[in-house]
Amino acid sequence: MPIHELDKDFFWFPDANQWDKEDSIIAVGGDLDYRRLQQAYQRGIFPWNDPDSEILWWHPLERMVLRPREVNITKSSRNLLNQKKFDIRFNTAFEEVLLNCQGIKRKNQHGTWITDEHVEAFLKLHQLGEAVSVEAWRDHKLVGGLYGIVVGSCFMGESMFSKESNAGKIAFITLCQRLEHWGFRLIDCQVYNKYLASLGAYPMPRMRFIQELEIARHENLDLDEVFTNTKVSNEN
């Protein structure tokens, strides 16, 4: 089955029954208009490509996911949480988190998929209350964090950075604790890597993920309440 080509003037994605059942890329082209991204993430589709190539739209055959309650907290991470080495905050520096993720150097990657167009679109989604940042602060400086999009009771992670060892990890663990408290169904980690696996993420078949996301989409929560900067009962 051929990969679908998207038109910049028409915000559309093919239905799941039109996707190639043996390919994780389901479409190419289009643009990163925030309205297209809204449609994409509601369907579990995300853009990921080299900065100089055409936009590729992915829905992996094996989706890396994590149940918030199943996050792996090692003894060393537990000690860092108990020591309160980092002050974890939500949505106080979204643009700064986004730009740090854009500027980080990643092994075996040429450039970044987080283009200026991507930044502009996610800033708009943040203004609309759909994109969220989790931040690790120490001595009044931002030293790590991550951002993503919320679709119902699914947090769809986009990127993470650390300027200090474990800063991003502690931000992620605190996010998991927060999402567990509020009854989130799933965290979407997109694709496999060893770091995510060490935190408890595991692969889920595409069709199972579609089913899980469809349930999550209809479990709407008050995000202002979820991402308040007041600690909840299961956070350190």
Q: What is the residue-wise DSSP string for 42-65?
A: HTT-EE---TTS--EEE--SEEEE
pLDDT in tens, 146-173: 999 999 999 999 999 999 999 999 999 9
Name residues whose C-beta falls within 8 Å of residue 150's C-beta, 6 or more positions apart in sequence.
Answer: 130, 131, 132, 156, 223
Helix (H, G, I), strand (E, B) or coil at 81: helix
Integer angstrom CA distances of residue 165 from 75, 76, 115:
15, 12, 26
pTM of the model: 0.93
In the prediction, which pLDDT does 110 show?
59
Question: What stretches in the chain show pLDDT beneath 70?
Answer: 1-2, 106-111, 233, 236
In the prediction, which pLDDT does 111 show?
59
Residue 34 is given by DSSP the state H
In the prediction, which pLDDT does 4 show?
82
Pick the closest to residue 4 from 27, 32, 23, 31 (CA basis).
27
In the prediction, which pLDDT does 52 show?
78
Neighbour order of strands in the sheet with 56-58 = 4-6, 25-29, 56-58, 46-47
Say how far apart CA 4 and CA 83 lie, in whole Å.
Answer: 51
